[in-house]
């Protein structure tokens, strides 16, 4: 009997065994995932269902909460404030984070690790401590205005606190490390030989950066911008502390509505915010793909 005949006889038996093993593997996988799935359902899915049901049933069943939001001029102003703050934060984080991430990625490993550690230092400080530190720095008698007045640059204190400027500064301070880390990981995956090839073909350092390095880092820029923008949409403490209630955002509006027990309006606004962030993620995922957004560039 040839080896081919033996293999043909064993093939049906192997197929039966494979069919029996697949349900077992599936059951084992579900059993291993059950604690995580239970945690996600209990801490994420169930609260989302409660919020959605509150938005449709409080004070009565229907879409009255969404209709009231859509017809409200205040709602449009709140949406405009929230998106403007998130957009300015994202733009400033890209402008500040890109050169710093580029410098970290091109340094020797020792200095690169040191600068990365310094970049992560804000994460070891409580958010409230950082915000109240900014109130001391940006106040009318704070560090910035005091020195500007002493140097004669200005003749009256600048409105840096309890204003849009203070909110953007505080949000940028919080989100900048995220942008730097994403850009750094994207730049680190770029093959150095591509730049060396461009230089060997006569391209200047600036031209090689503009035509080779920059396009390869754009997926990292998109990923960092998406992350910073979406997280900035839901900021509460920074607008509440540094904004002084003048620039009402979605998060501060939800807090105000909960304070007056308007649970339906607050839940409707939360659902609107969740829908906006979901649409933004799907839009960027459609344009660039999740793999490019998470990795970016080329691997060495």
Residue (of 117, 112, 90, 242) closest to 176 by Cα position: 90
The per-residue pLDDT for 2 is 56
The per-residue pLDDT for 16 is 46
Compute the distance between CA of residue 294 and CA of residue 224 in angstroms, rounded to an integer: 9
Compute the distance between CA of residue 235 and CA of residue 237 in angstroms, rounded to an integer: 6
Rounded to the nearest angstrom, the gap between the alpha carbon of residue 48 and the centroid of all alpha carbons in its chain is 20
The per-residue pLDDT for 292 is 53
pLDDT tens for 259-289 read 888 888 888 888 888 888 888 888 877 776 6
The per-residue pLDDT for 160 is 81
Tokens 């509440």 locate to 240
Contacting residues for 237 by C-beta, under 8 A, at least 6 apart: 127, 128, 131
Domain ranges of the chain: 1-57, 73-294
Compute the distance between CA of residue 185 and CA of residue 224 in angstroms, rounded to an integer: 11
The superfamily (CATH) of domain 73-294 is MetI-like (1.10.3720.10)
Task: Mark the ranges of the chain whose per-residue pLDDT is less than 70.
Answer: 1-22, 288-300
Tokens 């820029």 locate to 221
pLDDT tens for 209-248 read 888 888 888 888 888 898 899 889 888 888 888 887 777 8
3-state class (DSSP) for residue 167: helix
220-to-30, 62, 106 alpha-carbon distances in Å:
34, 42, 16
The per-residue pLDDT for 14 is 44
């Amino acid at each position: 009997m040839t080896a081919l005949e033996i293999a043909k006889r064993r093939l049906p038996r192997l197929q039966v065994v494979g069919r029996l093993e697949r349900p077992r593997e599936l059951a084992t996988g579900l059993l291993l995932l059950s604690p995580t799935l239970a945690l996600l359902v209990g801490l994420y899915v169930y609260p989302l269902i409660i919020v959605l049901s509150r938005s449709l049933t409080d004070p009565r069943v229907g879409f009255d909460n969404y209709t009231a939001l859509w017809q409200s001029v205040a709602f449009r102003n709140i949406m405009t404030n929230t998106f403007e703050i998130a957009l300015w934060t994202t733009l400033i984080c890209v402008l500040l984070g890109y050169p710093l991430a580029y410098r970290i990625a091109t340094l020797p490993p020792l200095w690169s690790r040191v600068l990365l550690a310094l970049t992560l230092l804000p994460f070891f400080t409580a958010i409230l401590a950082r915000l109240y530190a900014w109130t001391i720095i940006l106040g009318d008698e704070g560090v910035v205005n005091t020195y500007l007045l002493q140097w004669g640059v200005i003749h009256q204190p600048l409105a840096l606190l309890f204003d849009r400027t203070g909110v953007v500064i505080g949000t940028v301070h919080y989100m900048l490390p995220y942008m730097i880390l994403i850009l750094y990981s994207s730049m680190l995956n770029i093959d150095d030989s591509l730049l060396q090839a461009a230089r060997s073909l006569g391209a200047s350092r600036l031209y090689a950066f503009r035509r080779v390095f920059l396009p390869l880092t754009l997926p990292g820029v998109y990923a960092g911008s998406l992350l910073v923008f979406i997280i900035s949409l839901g900021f509460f403490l920074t607008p509440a502390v540094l904004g002084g209630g003048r620039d009402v955002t979605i998060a501060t509006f939800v807090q105000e509505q909960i304070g007056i027990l308007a649970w339906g309006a607050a839940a409707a606004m939360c659902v609107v915010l969740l829908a906006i962030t979901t649409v933004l993620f799907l839009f960027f995922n459609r344009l660039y793909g999740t793999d490019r957004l998470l990795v970016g560039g080329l691997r060495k």
